[in-house]
Chain A
Amino acid sequence: MEEFIHSRFNYWIYVILMMIGLWGMISKNNLIKKLIGMSIFQTAIILFYVSIAVKSETANIPILPHHGHDFSPKVALAHADSPYHEEDHGDHNGHHTHVETPKVPDPDGYANPLPHVLMLTAIVVGVATLGLALAITQKIYREYGTLEEDELLEKVRADDHD
């Protein structure tokens, strides 16, 4: 049981965060608190996507080495010097370094970049949603003078009867 929780730690966190967000959106009375819930909910999904990109403890970020920064994955280094395509490449000091490498980078050595890219878009969507929702909240407050949902609905009902 403990193993079951440990090995999927990030997924448990995402489920818990998502439930907190849903609860906030559904049961809170204040509109701003609902929006906080919405933000938590969306962030939980981002956490989920980032989690599925992880491959192993040793997998690294998928960036080609440049200017002496070596992001080469540790797992790949165990059986090859470096995972990159064999080529001469000069750094800015002008002298050439020659690396013995296998032809194709080992994909297990890198985290999956795609979910991160997707989440950049999802973050933008989340920001747009939150911005729009806050603007509408502001309009509601200006028109009705309250952000408590029960009071609001009462006033809306009064409007309906006019």
Chain B
Amino acid sequence: MLKVEGLHASYGAVSVLRGLDFEVPDGEVRVILGANGAGKTTTLRAICNMCNVSGTVEFEGENIVGTSTAQIVQKGVAHVPQGRGTFPELSVTDNLLVGAYVRKDNEVRDDIGRWFEIFPRLEERKDQLAGSLSGGEQQMLAVARALMSRPRLLLLDEPSLGLAPLIIEDLFERFTALNKETGLTMLVVEQNANLALEMADYGYVIESGHITLSGPADQLKNDPAVQEAYLGA
């Protein structure tokens, strides 16, 4: 579904990614692990053309480098940015409506109802401003909003950041369920390697703009280098 080759990305003169190769096959959950500043967030931003990019990013067989962010969203890529990225001054319902911005069909209201069923907390707070929600609720809202565009690939940037352990667990269970039930393909960037590897099929480790290690999630979990650096073993 997603195939990235020789991906370079920079902000102005600062180059962050120096030639990444990875892929995310249809229906899989893949995770990118790495320390702060390794380039995890930039990798996701580069896929959505939110920074200066060179190399190839193939989405469903089509190179999307140089395509506008709006068009990439339209093609079926949804991005939940780090720090949730909800619209704090908009109501929960309006947040979901904006999420459907690129859609032209008339099933938007039905979809909102569907996500309200899955995340009942959001329905309870549908008229509240997103900024007044708790961190966990905001993360649910951010995910539901991203799903409103009916994506085929979901990019999740540190979904566990700043959340309590119980809430993180619940959230990751929902991600797994989403993947199992709808076949949604996901690329997750995480610092919480334990949880991420549990959910993922396959993982990559990224260090200062390069991929240094990759393999099936089970294999990475038992890799001594990964254990030392990311699993706190």
The judgment on whether A and B are partners is no
Which residues of chain A have a CB within 8 Å of any CB of chain B?
Answer: none
